[in-house]
């Protein structure tokens, strides 16, 4: 079954967060979702999302740049074309547009949504078939204040919503960040899994100092402690400590994953559809990791429900040994979907309808869409 793409429309959607979300490179009070509507022949419509963090503070693609790439280059390339599946779509985009994986991810997601609706199957079936209808999901404690993070963690444990937490560190001085992490671990208890994300903020020497203390303090996982270019350093850290390393920014594609694993890396890879170029492309990295014996983790760019669900459909088809962090919709004060995802008992339920299984609330889309400046 093939699909002919007739038109592509793109919006920037600004939604406030429930609290400031502090990372090493930015503090977020609002998230911008780049939303794509892809209309295909026979009236089939697919929706996609591309979301980054803090404008250009996280990576090379900003919300405005993503929209520009779609409207100026990718939409004219795809509209009027017929594609037999996601492989031919990705091939067409990659042959003419270099990089821009966030933009490509939104379009691949929209295409998969439309194709699933046309075939009356969920996106997970197009990607190999879901192994489970529910996936584990952690919560990130990132207010920037130790006492607030402890109180937030205790409240979520009491509510039964989450039992695993990630801490965002790296913005502060090394020793104060370590004290912050270990204080939260001590307060929440041995039965609660605590991971930390440094977001590339340390050099190798600082990482050795920090990981020595984090390992002794019972932290379970350290995400991307050093810059993405320092693959030799990541390999060294993974072999020096029993505390596992989660490679994130260092592994965007299957080629990155192969190079790191063949160099001797032992740890886990954070999958993200945006950095890979779409759900199907992220699974190529997942399969490379599985062949190399590297564990998997489902990462987020703090997307709204559309991008989160696209990721969940992909993650459901593989064994995510370290679970997922697909909590993005919970960080937003509102969303553009008719029905929210079901988060409870430390898990999230995968929608079962055709395509992504998500219905867009177009009134909310218009309400939050960024108004054009004259």
Active site residues: 168, 325
Contact predicate 274/102, CB 8 Å: yes
Cα–Cα distance measured from residue 280 to residue 167, given in angstroms and rounded to the nearest whole number: 29
Residues in Cβ contact with 193 at an 8 Å cutoff, skipping those fewer than 6 apart: 138, 163, 164, 165, 220
Q: 270 CB contacts (<8 Å, ≥6 apart)?
A: 223, 224, 246, 247, 248, 251, 297, 298, 299
As a dihedral over the C-alpha atoms of residue 42, residue 43, residue 47, residue 48, rounded to 10 degrees, the angle is 40
Per the CB < 8 A criterion, the answer to whether 247 and 269 are in contact is yes
Planar angle of CA 58, 64, 66, nearest 5 degrees: 75
């Amino acid at each position: 079954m093939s699909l002919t793409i007739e038109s592509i429309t793109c919006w920037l959607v600004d939604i406030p967060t429930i609290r400031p979300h502090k990372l090493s490179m930015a503090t977020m009070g609002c998230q911008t979702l780049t939303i794509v509507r892809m209309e295909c022949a026979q009236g089939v419509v697919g929706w996609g999302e591309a979301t980054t963090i803090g404008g250009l503070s996280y990576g090379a693609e900003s919300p405005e740049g993503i929209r520009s790439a779609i409207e100026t280059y990718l939409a004219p390339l795809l509209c009027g074309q017929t594609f037999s599946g996601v492989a031919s779509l990705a091939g067409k985009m990659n042959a003419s547009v270099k990089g821009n994986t966030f933009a490509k991810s939104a379009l691949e997601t929209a295409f998969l949504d439309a194709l699933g609706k046309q075939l009356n199957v969920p996106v997970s079936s197009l990607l190999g078939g879901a192994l489970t209808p529910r996936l584990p999901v952690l919560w990130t404690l990132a207010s920037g204040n130790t006492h607030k993070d402890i109180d937030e963690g205790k409240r979520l444990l009491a509510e039964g919503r989450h039992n695993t937490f990630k801490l965002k560190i790296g913005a502060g001085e090394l020793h104060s960040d370590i004290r912050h992490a270990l204080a939260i671990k001590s307060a929440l208890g041995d039965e609660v899994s605590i991971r930390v994300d440094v977001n590339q903020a340390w050099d190798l020497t600082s990482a050795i100092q920090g990981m020595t203390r984090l390992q002794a303090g019972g932290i379970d996982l350290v995400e991307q402690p050093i810059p993405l270019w320092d693959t030799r350093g990541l390999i060294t850290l993974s072999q020096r400590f029993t505390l596992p390393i989660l490679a994130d920014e260092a592994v965007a594609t299957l080629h990155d994953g192969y190079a790191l694993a063949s160099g001797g890396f032992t740890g886990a890879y954070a999958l993200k559809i945006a950095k890979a170029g779409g759900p199907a492309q992220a699974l190529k990295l997942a399969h490379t990791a599985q062949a190399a014996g590297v564990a998997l983790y489902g990462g987020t760019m703090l997307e709204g429900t559309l991008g989160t669900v696209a990721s969940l459909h992909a993650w459901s088809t593989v064994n995510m040994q370290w679970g997922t962090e697909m909590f993005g919709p919970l960080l937003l004060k509102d969303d553009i979907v008719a029905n929210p995802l079901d988060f409870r008992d430390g898990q999230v339920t995968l929608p079962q309808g055709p395509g992504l299984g998500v219905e867009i609330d177009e009134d909310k889309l218009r309400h939050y869409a960024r108004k054009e400046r004259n």
